[in-house]
Structure 1
Amino acid sequence: MSASPAPAPLRCLLVDDEPLAHTVLRAYLDRVPGLATWVSSCYGAVEALTLLRTTPVDVLFLDVDMPELTGLELLRALPQPPQVVLCTAHATHALEAFELGVADYLLKPIRFERFIKTITRLHTSAPDQHPTAAPPVAVPVVAPPAPDSLFLKTDVGTERVRFTELRCVEGYGNFVKCHLVTGRTLLTAETMKQMESELPAAQFVRVHKSYLVNLQFVERLSGNSLVVNGREVPVGSTFRAEVLRRLQGR
């Protein structure tokens, strides 16, 4: 008995009022042609409501905070919604989202590793929703190159910051300051723990409860401080041994 054909790539629609979100997810989807395909983009929930009446969609990537009609209001208005993945910068919507039966919940900025887990799981569990399509050619998912940047949400929008431009991260109450080599400082609502998990461990090291530094900009260790690109950064006693190990092993 022959094996059943693999399901066709998931037809995906992105609804988000931020152009950068479309750029990022479109780039992610282009990396997995055997698993997912791009159907269309909508920059508002009302536009999406109209499109969904005539266009078959398997997965809806849906922002929450949008003008006129929010993502959750759109979801409630759909009599038979496709699988929905909420994409938002706020974790406060999670409970309501899962009560509405969303398939997944992605926090911005969305990392490719997290995105591919969602797509792979949805693709594996999806029925053959459009059997008339030609069976997809098996396309191996090429491992993406190591990321060289991250996206930070600031008071003026979402900004891409390359790791090579980030000299250190400083805790600042409920926010963090990102000090760039250009002299600019970006203030974002990310926590130190989130920043530590998003920055490459081979390049960045935690030196204090309130500081992460980029090793490429460390000039010297002086007493209980590091000189990082001309700036003194304190080294906490609980981090000192690890800092010394990392500096000696560079």
Structure 2
Amino acid sequence: RHSSACTLMPAPAPLRCLLIDDEPLAHTVLRAYLDRLPGLATWAGSCYGAVEALTFLRTMPVDVLFLDVDMPGLTGLELLRALPQPPAVVLCTAHAAHALDGFELGVVDYLLKPIRFERFVKTINRLHAGNGAGIPAGPPVAPAIAPEPAVDSLFLKTDAGTERVRFAELLFVEGYGNFVKCHLASGRVLLTAETMKQMESQLPAGHFLRIHKSYLVNLASVERLSGNLLLVRARELPVGSTYRQDVLRHLHLR
């Protein structure tokens, strides 16, 4: 006979968190947040510089690093590159400029200071979900690029005729008076008598984003956000003030 009793799964162990930041206030805030999440996360230690953290990690394994980026001596990103087998990493900084560098290094999340408690909770949930604990995760940490559209290209009229351009090959669109320039991955630039508004309506919204009155970018081509400049294949494009919040939202930096 089969027993009707339910089998209870053991609760996940609290995440051991190391705080690495040169600002004492940052430690105070995150320690207070960890204290509000008993059973989910626990404080394992505090380091006020990257070299101190390297020494700590040699003798004390942890599950998560809450890592500041801008620190004197050795930056957080330099520390991360120096670790042969880093634990899960959450970058914490007042600047969004290093977000895509963090993505390339495989960080779990990116928290912008001042860090809100509800945003911190989403990070802890994501960390547990990554460990298979079954806690629902927040949105993925990556540029918000939608699934491939059913239509993968558009036709542009140029002086040479009508040309098919695949979305994946189109890096960005630049306003040029009564025309637009379409910059392709091959290095070619196509000039077409379309308006920015017309181009925006023809491009899949989950893949292309208006960042300025004169620029539309392919999100898959974005390499870095530095201040108000977006790097797209070695070309720095300005982010307009009215578009900035939408850019941050799509890059999950807000």
Letter in structure 1 aligned against 2:24: P
Letter in structure 2 aligned against 1:102: V
Corresponding residue of 1:72: 77
Corresponding residue of 1:19: 24
Aligned length: 133
Structure 1: how far apart are the matches of 2:80 and 2:44?
18
Letter in structure 1 aligned against 2:7: S
Corresponding residue of 1:59: 64
Structure 1: how far apart are the matches of 2:85 and 2:11?
24
Secondary structure of 1:91's match?
coil
Structure 2: how far apart are the matches of 1:98 and 1:80?
16
Structure 1: how far apart are the matches of 2:11 and 2:129?
9
Corresponding residue of 2:108: 103
Shift of 1:77: 0.4
Report matched runs for 1:142-181 at 5 Å: none
Structure 1 residues without counterparts, runs of 5 or longer: 129-173, 175-190, 195-250
Correspondence for 2:38 among 23, 33, 36: 33
Report matched runs for 1:1-250 at 5 Å: 2-126=7-131
TM-score in terms of structure 2 length: 0.50
Shift of 1:5: 1.1
Secondary structure of 1:34's match?
coil
Structure 2: how far apart are the matches of 1:12 and 1:27?
13
CA-to-partner distance for each residue in 1:14-67, whole Å, 9 max, x for gaps?
A: 000000000000000000011000000000000000100110100100000001
Secondary structure of 2:59's match?
coil
Shift of 1:127: 5.1
Structure 2: how far apart are the matches of 1:63 and 1:127?
26
Shift of 1:120: 1.6
Shift of 1:4: 2.8
Structure 1: how far apart are the matches of 2:37 and 2:23?
22
Structure 2: how far apart are the matches of 1:3 and 1:91?
42
Shift of 1:124: 3.0
Structure 2: how far apart are the matches of 1:77 and 1:33?
31
Structure 1: how far apart are the matches of 2:21 and 2:47?
7
Please report the RMSD computed on the Cα atoms of aligned residues, expressed in angstroms. Answer: 2.1
TM-score in terms of structure 1 length: 0.50
Structure 2 residues without counterparts, runs of 5 or longer: 1-5, 134-226, 228-240, 246-254
Structure 2: how far apart are the matches of 1:7 and 1:100?
26
Where does structure 1 differ by over 4 angstroms across 4 or more consecutive aligned residues? Answer: 191-194
Shift of 1:75: 0.2
% same residue? 80
Letter in structure 1 aligned against 2:106: G
Secondary structure of 2:98's match?
helix
Structure 1: how far apart are the matches of 2:32 and 2:51?
25
